[in-house]
Amino acid sequence: MKNTTLVTMTTSDSVPSRRQTWQKDAVLHALGTSQGFVSAQQLHRQLTQHGSAIGLATVYRTLNSLVADGLADSLVGREGESLFRDCSKDHHHHLICNGCGVAVEIEAKQAEAWASKVAKDHGFTDVSHTIDIFGLCKQCTK
């Protein structure tokens, strides 16, 4: 005889529903208060110092999902670590100061167009790009 079990399911292949936690809020908020790009470790340190007993793993997880959802941008810093920033949803690029970390959001229409044209000319598909400008801001130049 078959062992039939009653299972309640909303849809056949449902995407697990997200749950709201104070941890997610904390990360998103801390990210919002940051001036430029910050690392997961920096954020965790900041949160901890402000009394929030959040786990490091959670900070990483939250940041990654924020990026996946397009609510944050990430890029690879000078030492290879991932840096994050609260960003608007549309695609754009950054001008980043090596000194203080401040990031200026920039339009890259020209570069975008150039990149996609080059790729297309070479028969490439599924194209993406990495365009970031680094330097020293006016303040840090002094």
Partner DNA sequence: GTCTTATTGATATCCATTATCAGTAAGGCT
Partner DNA sequence: AGCCTTACTGATAATGGATATCAATAAGAC
Instruction: Name residue 84's beta-bridge partners.
Output: 38, 74
Among 17, 125, 128, 141, binds DNA (CB under 7 A): 17
Q: How far is the CA of 133 from the CAs of 21, 95, 96, 105, 137, in angstroms?
A: 35, 5, 6, 10, 11
The entry of Mn ion, a second copy, DNA, none that residue 12 binds, CB within 5 to 8 Å by partner kind: none
Q: Does 105 bind a second copy (CB under 8 A)?
A: no
Least distance (Å) from a second copy to the CB of residue 11?
32
Dist. CA 78–CA 107, nearest whole Å: 22
| Residue 38, SS3 per DSSP | strand
Among 34, 46, 58, 116, binds DNA (CB under 7 A): 58
For residue 115, how many other CB atoms are within 10 A of its CB? 16
Among 30, 31, 37, 62, binds DNA (CB under 7 A): 62
Residue nearest to Mn ion (CB): 87
Q: Does 73 bind Mn ion (CB under 5 A)?
A: yes
Cβ pair 84, 39 in contact under 8 A: yes
Q: Does 87 bind Mn ion (CB under 5 A)?
A: yes
Nearest to 55 by CA among 20, 31, 84, 24: 24
The entry of DNA, Mn ion, a second copy, none that residue 48 binds, CB within 5 to 8 Å by partner kind: none
Residue numbers at the binding site for DNA (CB under 7 A): 7-8, 10, 16-24, 39-41, 53-58, 60-62, 64, 79-82
